[in-house]
Amino acid sequence: DVFRRSTKTTIKKKDIQRILNISKAAAYDFWQEVKDKYTIENNGDLRISERANIFRGELPKTQEPEVIHYQKLYINTIRKLYRATSIRKHKQLGYIFKLLPHLNLEYNILCTDPFEQEIDNIIPLTVGEICTLIGYDISQSTRLIKELQGLTFDYKNQKEYLISYVDSGTNSPRQKKIFLNPRIVYNGSDFRKVEVLGAFCKTAGGEDSRH
């Protein structure tokens, strides 16, 4: 599958810097990270690597579908989010992408078992545990929450947060549990299970209305 800018124009390696709007050095680092693992260069064109298990449209048929799990991403929304995110916030956006493997498929909360389907059995990750997963200083967990809340995107003319959170009433940053806006990422079988979460991801005039 070839990466394309249009039906007639393919994407070349040299296009990475311009498309991602990053420095030459950052483009080089990005290529070193994704080459062969996610994408390959073939006759000058960039293609999805067979090792990546990335598919567009319908998933390929398999003899053991129950043991293969895929992450569903809304490409247009992810692209819009990336373009709406300033270069200085790309690192924070990268934290979210690193955490996607821990996103519960049905309920969109970051947890210990992303494949757990019984809501009573879900064990949410605390912000403290999330800091450990992404290599963030746990003593700066309050700053991490603030940085992640700075990631927003437009949905139906309304600016929305990429993440929101709940806590146990202790108001301890390390104990907060995070969920992702299902309008960006959702892997489950019934969107109605998480539709209400969108109500907690809305901003109020660009300000954080949850405090």
Residue 58 DSSP SS3: coil
Write down the pTM of the prediction: 0.71
Q: Where are the beta strands (DSSP E) in the chain?
A: 39-42, 45-48, 152-155, 158-161, 163-166, 177-180
Higher-pLDDT residue of 52 and 136 is 136
As a whole number of Å, the end-to-end CA separation of the chain is: 45
Q: Pairing mode, if any, of strands 39-42 and 45-48?
A: antiparallel
Instruction: For residue 177, list its beta bridge partners.
Output: 126, 166
Contacts of 102 by beta carbon, 8 Å cutoff, 6+ apart: 110, 111, 112, 114, 125, 133
pLDDT mean over 38-51: 87
Q: Where are the domains of the chain?
A: 1-54, 75-200
* pLDDT of 208: 43
Segment 15-28 shows an average pLDDT of 90
Q: What is the pLDDT of residue 33?
A: 86
